[in-house]
Amino acid sequence: MLVLIVSLLGYFIGSIPTAVWVGKAFHGCDIREHGSKNAGATNTFRVLGKRSGWLVLIVDVSKGVLAACIPHFFTHMLLGYKDEFLILQLCASFSAVLGHVFPIFARFRGGKGVATSLGIVIGINPYAAVVCLTIFLLVFLSSRYVSLGAISAALCFPFISYFMINEDARIMIIFTVVLGLLVILAHRKNIERLWKREENKMNLFSKKA
């Protein structure tokens, strides 16, 4: 029962379509009808500008952090079996990513879950998050491809987590592999464009509004 509760809460938190709501509230448009048609931070930066982009990015990361923290509100209901708290964290977190990709509040058309996944990693394993973020920034700043940075971090995430968590938490290894694969699958079209050298470059730190 507790697994179901935290999973539903995680899904509803992840389903908050930040990019869609920001686009409609401040720009009078549906972000999913412009640019890459993806309801995520990257497309928001490109289409709506850096102010809206940073807002969407911060909120989407926060969704992941909040989802990973949901079990903290139910510690009084824990039964005490092995890895119970971690399992609840992973259920809430994975549901949040699904919610972001398939949001019930936006007709199941969402983003790719990268920012929310980062928030999840921050909430569960801050040290792994720092390493993943460093990899993302190094790849992104050197190539200016956001997608390549995200894919590189996703590929490295399971290996990073293996060396930075308790080896007894086998379920964490499985989760990191699944989450990494989910992020990579969400970027399959970007991978095709990268292969064809048709992917758009980007500078998140430009002064352009």
* 73-87, 127-141, 178-192: least confidently modelled range: 73-87
Average pLDDT over residues 30-50: 91
Residue 209 pLDDT > 60: no
Q: Specify the pTM.
A: 0.86
* 3-12, 64-73, 85-94, 160-169: least confidently modelled range: 160-169
**C-alpha to C-alpha distance for 62 and 67, rounded to whole angstroms:** 8
Contact predicate 3/20, CB 8 Å: no
- The 10s digit of each residue's pLDDT in 54-72 is 999 999 999 999 999 999 9
Q: Which of 44, 18, 159 is nearest to 96 (CA)?
A: 18
Residue 23 pLDDT > 90: yes
**C-alpha to C-alpha distance for 129 and 83, rounded to whole angstroms:** 21
- The 10s digit of each residue's pLDDT in 149-190 is 999 999 999 888 877 665 556 788 888 888 889 888 888 888
pLDDT of residue 34: 93
Domain ranges for the chain: 2-195
Instruction: Give the confidence band of 125 by pLDDT, cuts at 50, 70, 90.
Output: confident
Average pLDDT over residues 40-54: 92
User: Alpha helices, DSSP H only, in the chain?
Assistant: 2-14, 18-22, 41-48, 50-69, 84-101, 114-124, 126-143, 146-164, 170-186, 188-195
- In the block, tokens 């972000």 appear at 31
Contact predicate 185/151, CB 8 Å: no
**C-alpha to C-alpha distance for 115 and 57, rounded to whole angstroms:** 6
Q: Report which of residues 201 and 151 the model is more confident about.
A: 151
pLDDT of residue 206: 57
| Mean pLDDT score across all residues of the chain | 89
Average pLDDT over residues 27-42: 91
**C-alpha to C-alpha distance for 150 and 139, rounded to whole angstroms:** 9
